Structure 1
Amino acid sequence: MSQITIHKLEVFCHVAELGSVSRAAEKCSIAQPVVTTHIKSLSQKIGVPLTKKNGRQISLTEDGKRIYDWAKEIVSQTRELEDELKDRKAGAIGSASIAASMTLGSYILPSVVSRFKESHAQSDISVQIANPKLASELVQRGECDFGFTIFDRVRGISSLEITPLYSEKLILAAARDTSIVGTEIAPESLSDLPFVTARTNTARRDLEDYALMTHGIVRSNIVLEFGHGEAIKQSVRAGSGIAFLFESSVKDELSSGVLREVRTPGMSLAFPVYFVRRKDKKMTAFQHKLANFICTEIGNFNQPSP
């Protein structure tokens, strides 16, 4: 059966289902003699009669019924595979592994990726959340296809293509009823206030300290240190101190009133968010489509409404 083609099997299936050479020819958009030739050729290759005439109708022999079940499965699987390959080529389905720094991976990407997934239900998408340095290393090592991370100064990563997307704002947050600070404070008065922040020698802490130093601020009263922004936020809610938190991570708390923003006139802190990928990475159509979708969505993140 080495010369049996999918086309011949498909024609045979139409004859079996429609019980007519003429209707099968019309269905396949080919001439009736071609249908007859295909059925005859198929019978010869298999070595048994597949059809028989029943008046003006064509029905299947017992062997023909068995061959029909087999042929239908082969044709169905082949067409499904062809459709899948077309979808993959068009980027409709596929797989992608994304690296993300903590704020992006915890507060921004979940809703964006979920929206993309709604229209790409068969896709396989994973997000690996890490600190900014590790997120870029995951992409660099090829463990993730691309990433989204917060850097201050990107150096020594010559193998990565780094594209800036937007700046993520840091705001000074305090518990709703705390007496630690009022609704506004001058930047020069921040140094001695009790702060909750990231652990020493982490990328997040280094970036935050560096940004404050550019405004002449060195904090002297760090009351608690945590390894994740969510823990910092919960500690501030409990009244332990105040903290600089990414605006995207506290939108719900600010809206509900459990946290409040403390204005710092004359001082604005923000870190650039980057899209990162290996320069030699050959991304699939699906990965390109997903990356472009996320870049468009978060590139407009926090932009003023028109």
Structure 2
Amino acid sequence: MNLHALRLFYTIATTRNVTRAAEQLNISQPAITAQVKKLEKELGIVLLQPAGRGITLTPAGEDIALLAARLFAVEQQIEQFCGQIQQGQAGQIALAATYLPAHVLLPGWLSRFKKQYEQVELTIHTTNSAEALQLLTSAQVDLAIYGGVPERASEWVEMEELFRDELWFVVGPEHPYANQHISLSQMMQEPFVMREQGSSTRERLLSLCRTHNLPAPSIPLQFNGLYEAIQAVTAGYGANFISSLIVRDEVARGTLCRVYVEGIHLENTISIWTRKHEPLSAAASHFVDLIRSHPFKQTIQ
């Protein structure tokens, strides 16, 4: 079907006058009449009929005009939707987040974003550092939010640092090392409760041991979840090495206690990772801009 001719006919149907339709469309009256005649021949039905000195729609023409109204309304909706996507007002964002930003930072960021961009759909994959990098490099997500840095980055991705927080050794309040200053070798004698392999914080702990030529600590308990590991330490078993953002409230309440390891001061990087030389969608760019303007920097001193 010639949609251009259908639009000409629809304009005649809405104005009920060929001359006014031609003026509105800025084409000649003979041209618009010829196009409608071709449309009638194509469809095999008569759309317009003479009525005195003017024209009127045939019953079939009335029905076609109603269907055309629906068609062009949908066309307008498509144009509006495409415009919203181009402006970042609609669309989809898939992102991966490691456990720290997923639990502590993303809820606030997402709340702010959805209040401003309600039509944008977001899919969040909460996982460890290694899996987040794999999802990003395989284009299964648009960007990744890291608490920590993957041990092996890829030449296909780039990092933008947002801020840093401290990494703390923590134990339960009844632990003999609670609030004490000890050596790293003493700390490494303790059993650790950590996340699964692939966790960047776990890798930082093992790297710390390698740097200081110490044997790796035993990790008799490991969890896939962040808070499960914290709860085990809070209940009185072992130690944890963790971002201060995660446990700052527990330390303030006294349900967890820091262990001050002499000569050790490590920081955790909170960052955004994207694929190099691949522009983000407008919606994803808006989300990144929001994160940049509202980073979470409060830590316990």
Answer yes or no: same fold by TM over 0.5.
Answer: yes
TM band (smaller chain): 0.7 to 0.9
Separation (CA, whole Å) in 2 of partners of 1:234 and 1:63 = 73
C-alpha spacing 1:49/1:99, structure 2 compared with 1 (3 Å): closer
Match of 1:163 in 2: 160
| Contact 2:234–2:256 (CA under 8 A) maintained in structure 1 | no
Match of 2:296 in 1: 301
Aligned-pair distance for 1:238?
2.2
Where does the alignment leave 5 or more consecutive residues of structure 2 unmatched?
A: none
Match of 1:148 in 2: 145
Query: Superposition pairs for residues 54-203 of structure 1, below 5 Å?
Result: 60-152=57-149, 157-175=154-172, 178-181=173-176, 184-188=179-183, 190-192=187-189, 195-199=192-196, 202-203=199-200
SS at match of 1:66: helix
Query: Superposition pairs for residues 154-303 of structure 1, below 5 Å?
Result: 157-175=154-172, 178-181=173-176, 184-188=179-183, 190-192=187-189, 195-199=192-196, 202-211=199-208, 224-250=221-247, 253=250, 257=253, 259-262=255-258, 264=260, 268-297=265-294, 300-303=295-298
C-alpha spacing 1:170/1:3, structure 2 compared with 1 (3 Å): closer
| Contact 2:243–2:268 (CA under 8 A) maintained in structure 1 | no
Where does the alignment leave 5 or more consecutive residues of structure 1 unmatched?
A: none
Match of 1:11 in 2: 11
After superposition, the C-alpha distances for 1:267-306 in whole angstroms (9 at most, x for unaligned) are 5432112221221424322222223333433xx21258xx
| Contact 2:130–2:199 (CA under 8 A) maintained in structure 1 | no
Aligned-pair distance for 1:113?
2.4
Aligned-pair distance for 1:251?
5.4
| Contact 2:130–2:198 (CA under 8 A) maintained in structure 1 | no
Separation (CA, whole Å) in 1 of partners of 2:49 and 2:236 = 83
Aligned-pair distance for 1:245?
2.9
Aligned-pair distance for 1:78?
0.6
Separation (CA, whole Å) in 1 of partners of 2:193 and 2:181 = 19
What is the aligned residue count?
Answer: 291
C-alpha spacing 1:199/1:48, structure 2 compared with 1 (3 Å): closer
Aligned-pair distance for 1:89?
1.5
SS at match of 2:260: coil
Separation (CA, whole Å) in 2 of partners of 1:246 and 1:6 = 64
| Contact 2:162–2:271 (CA under 8 A) maintained in structure 1 | yes
- Aligned partner letter, 1:71: A
C-alpha spacing 1:31/1:91, structure 2 compared with 1 (3 Å): closer
After superposition, the C-alpha distances for 1:36-90 in whole angstroms (9 at most, x for unaligned) are 7798566533352447869x9x975422320122111111111011111111222
Separation (CA, whole Å) in 2 of partners of 1:140 and 1:150 = 18
Aligned-pair distance for 1:129?
2.0
C-alpha spacing 1:251/1:3, structure 2 compared with 1 (3 Å): same
C-alpha spacing 1:48/1:232, structure 2 compared with 1 (3 Å): same
> Considering only aligned residues, what root-mean-square deviation do their CA atoms show, in Å?
4.1
Aligned-pair distance for 1:206?
2.0
| Contact 2:169–2:241 (CA under 8 A) maintained in structure 1 | yes
| Contact 1:91–1:287 (CA under 8 A) maintained in structure 2 | yes
Aligned-pair distance for 1:32?
10
